[in-house]
A and B are shown apart, each in its own frame.
Chain A
Amino acid sequence: MADLKAGDALPELKVTPDKYLPHRYAGASGDFNPIHVDPEFAKSVGLPSNILHGLYSMGVVAKAAAQGLAGGDPRALKKLTVQFRGMGLPEQEIEVTGTVKEVEGDRVVVDLEAAQGDNRIIRNAQAELEI
């Protein structure tokens, strides 16, 4: 990591949440909002189906940053800020991409985004790590 510099690409991370991932995430996180676990309810409020938890998608972005730059060390990630925009859907591949913005000593700032195809579900994400 010593030669990390601005403009470097983060190793890309791809993951496809299966049909029941939102249910398992609901159990793990305690967030059982029916828009995430009940397709019929989600459709009744105008959504295409049950949608991924935004904080799950943020968790995938956090994982991409920590694994890609710090070997998964849970101490490395110091700050993560995201904006939730498009709705994430189960059974579609999420691709997290990132670019190193600045490096100062052991502190690294990375710009990140998560998308399902053309649907950018997390935008303007920025992570600060100490590595």
Chain B
Amino acid sequence: MAIKTDAVGKSWPSTTYQVGREKIKEYATVLGIENPVHFDVGAAREAGFRDVVAPPMFAVVYAMPSLAPAMFDPEVGINFARLVHGGQTFEWDEPACSGDEITTTATLVSAEEKLDNGFYVFETVSVNGAGAEVVRGTWTNIVRGG
């Protein structure tokens, strides 16, 4: 088995996501998160947010689309039939609120073979319209048997 490493360091075109109140409500409801700052603009503003605020893990909603072209890029060469999501890290900075336009850029940071498995690590960096970093994600994908 040989892992393709040519694409290490490559970034793909950014994706932009407009955060909205109903989508935040939908996500929070599925997770059973009940804090009114995720549902009610008055409660959110009283707590110091610009608008209804997203739970931290809402990051998957606005950051994940940036990974699609990266994951399907033949230069990366991921075998989807053997793909598992091995690990995930998020580091949060500025909260994501309804009305924000969040732009995310994905980069392949490493591609390595370990114990006959391929480890592909992507980083996503998400910034809001004011240029402030919202979240940084590290996505570890494992391709079993390469």
The residues of A with any CB-CB pair to B shorter than 8 Å are: 15, 21, 24-25, 27-31, 45, 54-56, 58-60, 62-63, 66, 72-75, 77-84
Q: With A and B bound together, what is the CA distance between A60 and B55 in angstroms?
A: 11
A21 touches B33 (CB 8 A): no
Q: Contacts A58-B57, A62-B55 given: A80-B30 contact, CB under 8 Å?
A: no
Q: A15-B32, A74-B54, A79-B92 are in contact. List 17 more A-B contacts (CB 8 A).
A: A21-B30, A31-B60, A55-B57, A55-B85, A56-B31, A63-B31, A63-B32, A72-B33, A72-B34, A74-B35, A74-B56, A80-B90, A81-B90, A82-B87, A83-B87, A84-B87, A84-B88
Number of residues of chain B lying within 8 A (CB) of chain A: 33
Residues in chain B within 8 A of chain A (CB atoms): 23, 26-27, 29-35, 37-38, 53-57, 60-61, 64-65, 81, 84-92, 95, 138
What is the count of residue pairs linking A and B with beta-carbon distances less than 8 angstroms? Answer: 87
